[in-house]
């Protein structure tokens, strides 16, 4: 495991966590991981009863935030570089199958959490960059760009961005602020009538009162 990223604990005690990349680690630039373009992320689970770790999903485009649905019905994992959220069903007729909870997000989902009302809060760490996406089928150019310092490759247009989703993956809240200091939003966790938010651009926790 090189890039263990996020974790959540199911009601049955199973520990679910993501491993964003099997090739690169926390010491490597996220931009360089993106330019490499390999989907080697995984979703894993740890059983405290048996002490075993199991790979539940692989081939993920930078697997990031993880959350288990109420009642352990399914587990969600964000694919940051795929701009989507994957769902692994744990119960019912669809148990063991996967689908997309939501696709085509306008940015890169980082962490995800669920509140007592069943709303999933997704932190969007950056807006999709059309310039970068045009390089998807140009590995040689991406390799050349990979030699540049990360500071020269940061995508433009990043601003504070949080989405709220219902149990069917529909958007219920679209919270954006281009003037906020909490750009590169990495997490949003509900605490009563507020969201506690974090960002790579600050050394503080932000408090946002819910509308």
Q: List the 120-127 sheet strands across, edge first.
A: 107-114, 120-127, 160-165, 171-177
List pLDDT tens digits, range 62-103.
Answer: 999 999 999 999 999 999 999 999 999 999 999 999 999 999
Across 47-83, the runs of DSSP E, i.e. the strands, are 53-60, 63-68, 74-79
Flag whether the pTM goes above 0.75: yes
Specify the range with the lowest mean pLDDT, choosing from 58-67, 100-109, 149-158, 180-189: 149-158
pLDDT for the residue 135: 67
CB count in 10 Å sphere of residue 204: 10
- For the chain, the structural domain boundaries read 4-209
How many secondary structure helices (H) and strands (E) does the chain include? 3, 15
**SS3 at position 29:** coil
4-209, CATH topology level = Neuraminidase (2.120.10)
Q: List the 194-199 sheet strands across, edge first.
A: 185-191, 194-199, 206-209
User: What is the Cα–Cα distance from 118 to 166, expressed in whole angstroms?
Assistant: 7
Structure token digits, residue 127: 């807006």
Structure token digits, residue 87: 């769902």
């Amino acid at each position: 495991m090189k890039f263990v990223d996020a974790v959540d604990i199911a009601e049955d005690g199973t520990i679910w966590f993501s491993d964003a990349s099997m090739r690169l680690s926390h010491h490597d630039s996220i931009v360089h991981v993106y330019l490499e373009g390999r989907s080697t992320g995984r979703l894993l689970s740890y059983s405290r009863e048996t002490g075993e770790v199991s790979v539940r999903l692989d081939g993920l485009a930078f697997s990031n935030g993880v959350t288990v649905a109420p009642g352990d019905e399914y587990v969600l994992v964000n694919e940051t570089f795929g701009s989507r959220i994957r769902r692994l069903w744990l119960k019912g007729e669809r148990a063991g199958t996967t689908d997309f909870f939501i696709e085509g997000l306008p940015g890169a989902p980082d962490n995800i959490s669920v509140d007592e009302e069943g709303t999933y809060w997704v932190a969007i760490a950056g807006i999709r960059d059309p310039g970068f996406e045009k390089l998807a089928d140009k590995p040689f150019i991406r390799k050349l760009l990979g030699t540049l310092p990360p500071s020269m490759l940061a995508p433009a247009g990043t601003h504070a961005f949080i989405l709220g989703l219902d149990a069917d993956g529909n958007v219920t809240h679209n919270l954006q602020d281009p003037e906020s200091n909490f750009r590169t939003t990495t997490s949003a966790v509900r605490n009563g009538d507020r969201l506690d938010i974090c960002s790579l651009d600050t050394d503080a926790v932000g408090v946002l009162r819910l509308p």
